[in-house]
């Protein structure tokens, strides 16, 4: 059986006398414009980006947060300092991240079920994981 490459299979590899050998990096770079799927790199980066799931709070924890909100409601006129740990949902995929912010409490909007801080955050009650203030020293 005759192979189509029998005449060249044992020839030595050609090395140019006029041009220097191209690095592997430059050889790979010349094919970059031919990536099969445009935007693949961005999609892969988005998939790799970590988000954490939102924790479900136990009923006793929810009750404690309700008591803390009630206490804060009585001190709105002095704009107390609060430390809020809350869940910020990701805009692109499931999950999000937990953030902690320290600011003065500007308002509690019971009808909208959110708090507003002097730093501009508007945080839904359902996303609050923890509230702290020097006003709470007796209840914990």
Token code pair at residue 107: 């308002």
* pTM (whole model) above 0.85: no
Give me the mean pLDDT over the 118-135 stretch: 94
Whole-angstrom distance, CA of residue 100 vs CA of residue 83: 7
Report pLDDT digits (tens) over 90-121.
998 899 999 999 999 999 999 999 999 999 99
Q: What angle do CA 32, 38, 44 make, to 5 degrees?
A: 95
Sheet containing strand 96-109, strands side by side: 122-124, 114-117, 96-109, 81-89, 128-132
């Amino acid at each position: 059986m005759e192979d189509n490459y029998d005449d060249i299979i044992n020839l030595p590899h050609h090395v140019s006398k006029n041009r220097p050998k191209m690095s592997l990096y430059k050889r790979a770079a010349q094919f970059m414009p031919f990536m099969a799927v445009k935007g693949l790199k961005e999609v892969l980066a988005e998939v790799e980006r970590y988000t954490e799931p939102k924790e479900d709070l136990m009923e006793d924890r929810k009750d404690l947060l309700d008591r803390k909100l009630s206490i804060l409601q009585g001190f709105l006129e002095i704009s107390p300092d609060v430390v809020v740990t809350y869940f910020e949902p990701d805009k692109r995929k499931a999950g999000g991240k937990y953030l902690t912010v320290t600011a003065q409490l500007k308002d509690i909007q019971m009808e909208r079920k959110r708090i507003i801080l002097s730093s501009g955050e508007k945080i839904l009650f359902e996303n609050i994981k923890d509230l702290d203030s020097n006003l709470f020293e007796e209840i914990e």
